[in-house]
Amino acid sequence: MLDEQAILDLVKSASFPSLPEDFELESYIKENRVDGDHIHLEITLPFPCEGIKQQLAGEIESEIVNSWPQSKRIAIEIKHRTTAYETKAGVPPLAKIKNIIAVASGKGGVGKSTTSVNLALALKAEGAKVGILDADIYGPSIPIMMGIPNARPVSEDKKTILPLEAHDIQTMSIGFLVDEEQAMVWRGPMASSALQQIVRDTRWGDLDYLIVDLPPGTGDIQLTLSQKIPVTAAVIVTTPQDLALADAKKAVTMFEKVKIPVMGVVENMSTHICSNCGHQEAIFGEGGGNILSEDYDMPLLGQLPLAMSIRQQLDEGKPAVADDPESKISLTYREIARNLTANLSSLGKDYSKGNEGIAIKTWSPGN
């Protein structure tokens, strides 16, 4: 019989290719009405999903039609509302920021900054409000990559600074504030307090996600970040090379120690795409990200090729996803962004940040 329970069972049992793996769609049904052969289904996903809304609605509709060819009017509405997740107890929250995601790696030069900017832009393309913070005190690269190398933030009240807007992303970097030579001579504790200050003294607008691009390694900056900044989760970037993997494992272990959940691995430069003929070759070996995710039981969020276009676009200050959000590489970043933010739903919610909680209705006579 076609009724609400039947629709719920169908959503539970069917698999929808557009959704991230293992995502439990049935938990996000907001409305499910069956009226004879008319069906109305409303779903609010907890992660930004502009790129799959239409496809997902189509997939659900064909499942319904397959099971009940007699159904006549099927209205499926897919919405999204970013959920704020809990962070470690004892770290004061940042009221306007729902989730802070750290992008890390054990080894330098594997593409953290590249991943950070494109991930930020991908989340934006998927419909989220996003900021990016360059936490690489000693070698900030976000100003150039975001195309605002000479920008300087303003301070209206001399106490706080306003983030800079680039490609619709709120951007902040130590590179905007001090000369590289000056920062280079800072010792660890000084760099750490500079980072804390930047995070807290920046007047961020309302953000669904703040992406933090970390410097390489597992040193002071990473520790400060975990102890003083309310980080929701981390992502590890790796290349398929063995050495980089050994380092990536160090980063995973560090986050385990400081109790920041790692949401998955991004494998960068996984194959080489020749810019002349388009031929793909796994020059650094294959399956590094897979090994890491199997060893540590964490998802491989996606793989990016080593492609000349990725570097060129960054050098021009127009990262892949800003340049063309629909290109093959951009769609990969967007899928990574959805996989990552969907995986956050395994964490506890933070109800102080505007998540829908239990609806308490007040009653008074005459209501």
Ligand X SMILES: Nc1ncnc2c1ncn2[C@@H]1O[C@H](COP(=O)(O)OP(=O)(O)OP(=O)(O)O)[C@@H](O)[C@H]1O
Which range of residues in 21-29, 63-71, 283-291, 300-308 is near ligand X by CB under 6 A?
Answer: 300-308
How far does CA 177 lie from the centroid of its chain? Answer: 26
Residue 273: its H or E element: strand 272-273
CA pair distance 313, 318, nearest whole angstrom: 5
Which range of residues in 92-100, 188-196, 248-256, 305-313 is near ligand X by CB under 6 A?
Answer: 305-313
CA pair distance 290, 265, nearest whole angstrom: 9
- DSSP-based three-state secondary structure for 112: helix
* Binding of ligand X by 136 (CB under 6 A): yes
Q: What, of Mg ion, ligand X, none, does residue 109 touch, CB below 5 to 8 Å by kind?
A: ligand X
Of residues 112 and 338, the one with the C-beta less far from Mg ion: 112
* Binding of ligand X by 112 (CB under 6 A): yes
Q: Candidates 36, 92, 108, 188: give the one binding ligand X (CB under 6 A).
A: 108
CB of 55 to Mg ion, least distance (A): 33
Of residues 94 and 340, the one with the C-beta less far from ligand X: 340
- DSSP-based three-state secondary structure for 300: strand
Q: What, of Mg ion, ligand X, none, does residue 268 touch, CB below 5 to 8 Å by kind?
A: ligand X
**Which residues have CB under 8 Å from 121's CB, separation 6+?**
130, 167, 169, 319, 320, 321, 322, 325, 333
Q: Candidates 30, 33, 95, 109: give the one binding ligand X (CB under 6 A).
A: 109
DSSP string, 128-193: --EEEEE--SSS--HHHHTT-TT-----SSSS-BPPEEETTEEEEEGGGTS-HHHHHT--HHHHHH
List interacting residues with Mg ion (CB under 5 A): 112-113, 141
* Binding of ligand X by 301 (CB under 6 A): no
* Binding of ligand X by 268 (CB under 6 A): yes
Considering CB under 6 A, how many residues would be counted as binding ligand X? 21
- DSSP-based three-state secondary structure for 204: coil
Of residues 74 and 251, the one with the C-beta less far from ligand X: 251
Q: Would you state the structure tokens that stand for residue 43, as one six-digit string? A: 């779903």
CA pair distance 50, 70, nearest whole angstrom: 30
Rule CB under 6 A: which residues touch ligand X? 105, 108-114, 136, 139, 141, 215-216, 268-269, 304, 306-307, 310-311, 314
